[in-house]
Amino acid sequence: MKKVIHKADSRGFADHGWLQARHSFSFASWHNPERIHFGALRVLNDDVIAPKMGFGAHPHDNMEIITIPLKGVLKHRDNMNSDWQFVHPGEVQVMSAGTGVQHSEINGSVDVHLSLFQIWVIPDKRNVQPRYDQKRFNAEGRKGKLQTLVTSFEDKDTKSLKIHQDAKLSRIDLSKVEAFKYNLKSNNHGVYIMVISGQIEIEGKVLELRDAIGISETDSFKITSKMDSELLFIEVPMINL
């Protein structure tokens, strides 16, 4: 088993006033040569956006982009649809940038900060037709069990959102002293685990709020919660850049 631990305070940080951004991997002005990617996972940003503020229209191409609001409401608009799309906590948004898209992301609240994860996964197909989708996932569906959010178009799971990569994004909520065994898709995959809240132990390592661990070269591993905890799993092929 191979492990890499990223403590919360080791992440890159940018304070733009209206945006407080924490980067698990090199992004924008923050560069760490040892933190470029984890397999096909290229970006995991933990953003807090002030009310009514956000990112104006900007381009992306050839990237699978997943956004998970944790608090507040996200307003999204792109050149595939001129109407604003609202994304709330409990919902997940996916966008295949493919040949190129322009989109805007804004805090849709006038008085509540927006907290979200934005994840970029390197696709296994380039220059695809851009697409957008979103879906709500009931919190009851992840209490003590894995709730799959996103999978590949080739995956048989019909309840998840889809991206162009053999990846799996999922969440679980564990009660105090609850144990869970995670099984990886294959020996060619690794999984990056973010502690959304709480405290857990994996392979003798204790992880707390916004700590993360990347695990690869194993079939499975055990997680034990030391208090009520929420976890995000991002499982990806361990490609080299």
pLDDT tens string for the chain (241 positions)?
Answer: 999 999 999 999 999 999 999 999 999 999 999 999 999 999 999 999 999 999 888 889 999 999 999 999 999 888 887 788 899 999 999 999 999 999 899 999 999 999 999 999 999 999 999 999 999 999 999 999 999 999 999 999 999 999 999 999 999 999 999 999 999 999 999 999 999 999 999 989 999 999 999 999 999 999 999 999 999 999 999 998 8
Between CA 3 and CA 207 the distance in angstroms is: 13
Between CA 12 and CA 177 the distance in angstroms is: 31
Between CA 201 and CA 179 the distance in angstroms is: 9
| Nearest Cα residue to 208 out of 10, 1, 20 | 10
Between CA 176 and CA 109 the distance in angstroms is: 33
Q: Domain 2-237: state its class.
A: mainly beta
Interior CA angle at 20 toward 89 and 151, to 5°? Answer: 40
Whether the Cβ atoms of residue 23 and residue 212 lie closer than 8 Å to each other: no
Residue 128 DSSP symbol: P
Strand order in the sheet with 189-197: 2-6, 212-216, 189-197, 229-237, 168-174, 147-152, 161-163
The tokens describing 150, both together, are: 């996103």
Q: What is the residue extent of each domain of the chain?
A: 2-237
